[in-house]
Amino acid sequence: MSAPWMKFFPRDWRGDQSLRAVSVAARGLWIECLCIMHEAKPYGHLLLNGRTIDDDALARMTGVPAEGVSALMAELTQAGVLSVTAKGVVYSRRMIRDNAQAAKGRKSAAKRWSQGADFPHESGGPNGLPNGYPITQNPEARNQNPEKPPAAPQGGGAGGLFDELVSVFPRSPHVKEAKARKAFDGHSLDDQVALVAAARRYAAWFGEEQARRKRTIIEALSYAPPLDKWIGEGAWRSAGELRLNGEAADGSEMAVVDATDPIVARLETLRGRPFVIGASGRITVLKSELDAARSAA
């Protein structure tokens, strides 16, 4: 039986680029689906008593008009919000990943407690665990081995950070995840943490920019840069320069430039680094940068 509650991170929900690309109605249906999947077996799958839920049944379970369920589910599929198994079962990647990590944590905790039970005479006093160790925020504090690296954040090490990065970054149709992971693994742990933060900021800006330009989901994702190049060529380091209201620090707006425009070379010279060009063949720059490049040309 599943727990009566599940983890929910509002910042992740609001910062997920795919969710931001779909309608409010589609997001509402998806949160209803998540609640159903929380009680399903296997966990995270859109099933009822082990059977696939068709559109009519889902409409009755969620209160969404029957004629709208199919269109909303198609919208979620197109944006990459949901995944589908080879047997056609809808599932949530995040729920399955979180559940696996939770199960691993429970197993580790049970093992620690069972080992502590073998040494009852070493039980500590207040604020002590059964094995006598003090309760600390960081388990590594129990063994101050200078050669042992600190635990990586997010509970999943670099792999967990990379999964988080992929989950929030705009999904380019030409994403090469293996190359992106290789580029990610080539960075230090501090940079990996910074990369995730940069991806969140970029995703928030990207969503606002595409919405402002009234682009469809397909059109918007064609402007997303390839993740492997965004990481490998260092474009992520510029994410802090983006303004989430779609304006530059000086109030000037963003400008879209075709990648074949000769001014791009001048822009790259002024910035000191190359642009990451997505499938759209266009780049987005600060209008003040474009004006400066044209003045210097």
User: pLDDT by residue for the chain (297 residues), tens digit each?
Assistant: 677 888 888 888 888 888 888 899 999 999 999 999 999 999 999 999 999 999 899 999 999 888 888 889 888 888 888 888 888 899 998 898 888 888 887 787 777 777 655 544 444 444 444 444 443 444 433 444 444 444 433 333 445 788 888 887 887 766 788 898 999 999 888 888 888 888 888 888 887 777 778 877 667 777 888 888 889 888 888 887 777 654 444 444 567 777 788 888 888 888 777 766 655 566 767 777 788 888 886
pLDDT in tens, 170-222: 877 667 888 989 999 998 888 888 888 888 888 888 877 777 788 776 677 77
User: What letter represents residue 271's amino acid?
Assistant: R
Residue carrying the six token digits 């000769």: 262
With H, G, I as helix, E, B as strand and everything else as coil, classify residue 201: helix
Residue 273 near residue 233 (C-beta atoms within 8 A)? yes
Encode pLDDT of 9-28 as tens digits: 888 888 888 888 889 999 99
In whole angstroms, give the CA distance from residue 19 to residue 28: 10
Sign of CA dihedral 70, 75, 88, 90: negative
Is pTM, for the whole model, over 0.75?
no
**Residue 221 and residue 33: Cα distance in Å, rounded?**
24
The two three-digit tokens of residue 92, written as one number: 């949530």
- DSSP H or E run through 255: strand 254-258
> Domains of the chain by range and CATH?
1-122 (1.10.10), 157-296 (no CATH)
